[in-house]
Chains A and B, each alone.
Chain A
Amino acid sequence: MHIADGIIDARIAIAANAVAVAAIYVSGRKTTIEEIPKMGITGAALFVASLVHIPFAGTSVHPGLYGLVGIILGKRAFPVIFTVVLFQSMIFQHGGLLSVGINSINMGAGAFAAWLIWRQQALPEYLRAVFAGFIGIIIPVLLMATEFQLSGYGRGILYLFSIYILAAVVEGVVTLSVVKFFRRIKSDILT
């Protein structure tokens, strides 16, 4: 899900960095010193999660956890996701350095959408959790498909990315399972 440098149009990648910096200021405004360790450890978990592979249907997938990050951090998710994407780019070269902005916007939008769904208290919790996990993958994929199309790849990219629906379903199940565990063990971690 990490776009490397050179894959999409350079102008889009550069503009996305400017948008990402603005988003950091907006979403990180008035962060209290008490919120910092939660942001740090969630970031570390997100970073490590990309190295974990779950055997699934004869292959392996790694959890994205953007939905879960949205549930845990709410509007503070974006600065954390930006930092993780920056780390992944510099340390493991997953995604490019110039593409940090575009990658963090894609994933941050997924986390933000998941948070919005999670806040709909009228819905049962299990439904909110599954849907938050699902949407946490689908939104980044849709944004990514749009960016590829704007870079001249054509509509066909949507067919290629449809495989991510499967990953989003797995993510929904994992998110539900983790939320249930948190609710049982440590309820206050859920925003």
Chain B
Amino acid sequence: MKHSFIDKYSKLNSTVHRLDPRIKLLMTFLGIIIIVSEPPGKILPFAFYGVAVLILMLLSRIPLGFIIKRFLILSPFILMAALFFPVSLWLTNDEQIVNLQHPAFKVALSIFLKAGLSVILLILLISTDKFHNLLLGLRKLKMPKLIGVIAALMYRYVFILSDEALKTKRARESRTPGKLKVNKMKVFSNQMAMIFLRSWERSKIIYHSMLSRGFNGEFPVMQKLAMNRIDVVFFVCFLTAFLAVRFLITPLT
């Protein structure tokens, strides 16, 4: 079976793809912290962040259409969360919000821009490296060991689960083809429980085979992560640009 919903463009070869996964994770994490720490209601600084992110997008060679499409899928949720701000204030009756000139809408726009740029940084992160490399990067960045083990197993078990889900769905459809008319909730719950049980049994067999081959909770990897000068220069440039916007441009706006 092919499962290509994870890290679709991770095999491209670009400057951003070649960066150490730890650098990419740190850049994304720190970049998001800087963006979300912008005071509410500031709009102009996001134009500068936007330019920096656009440069990253172009350097990564990921088709812009893909990033825009992915962003558009997520944007209604972000927009809704941003609009919660004026709507919630209106419902609270603390504020009389009657037109779009109200400062609450400016805050909502800044929330939308913060969340939107953070989402684009995350899309870039997952599209510019293989997922297991990012997991390795997280482990090297001292992620708790237990999380590392759960993550590594979970990543593999997702495929077991989707295989079992497909089989169960086919089996159900072969017996009751078409749209379900009765007991939708019960059929759905039983199907879900069945998929879980089958996958659990299969995952136990796999896990016991791993134990019998000496698995002790560690995932030894041959791959060595090595940071080079380009990684450091890239990281410093990215961070300096973001910090400059945050501490030099934002106070002026």
Q: Mark B139-164, 1 if CB is under 8 A from A, else 0.
A: 00000101101110111111011100
Cβ 8 A contact of B207, one of A21, A36, A155, A157: A36
Tell me, rounded to whole Å, the shortest Cβ–Cβ distance linking A26 to chain B.
11
The CA-CA distance from A4 to B123 in the complex, in Å, is 13
Interface centre among A14, A98, A174, A182 (most CB of B within 10 A): A98
Answer whether residue B52 sits at the interface, using C-beta atoms and an 8 A cutoff: no
Answer whether residue B60 sits at the interface, using C-beta atoms and an 8 A cutoff: no
Complex contact B84–A41 (CB within 8 A): no
**B43-89 interface (Cβ within 8 A of A):** 70, 74, 77-78, 81-82, 84-85, 87-89
Contacts of A86 in B (CB 8 A): 147, 151
The chain B residue sitting closest to A173, CB to CB, is B185
The CA-CA distance from A37 to B157 in the complex, in Å, is 9
Complex contact A44–B158 (CB within 8 A): yes
Complex contact B147–A24 (CB within 8 A): yes
Complex contact B217–A36 (CB within 8 A): yes
Complex contact A10–B189 (CB within 8 A): no
The chain A residue sitting closest to B210, CB to CB, is A37
The CA-CA distance from A182 to B190 in the complex, in Å, is 9
Answer whether residue B249 sits at the interface, using C-beta atoms and an 8 A cutoff: no
Complex contact A37–B204 (CB within 8 A): yes
Known: A55-B184, A83-B150, A87-B151. 7 other contacts (CB 8 A): A7-B78, A48-B165, A52-B192, A91-B7, A159-B91, A174-B189, A177-B186
10 contacts between A and B (CB under 8 A): A3-B81, A41-B153, A79-B147, A90-B134, A154-B91, A154-B95, A155-B92, A156-B93, A170-B185, A177-B185
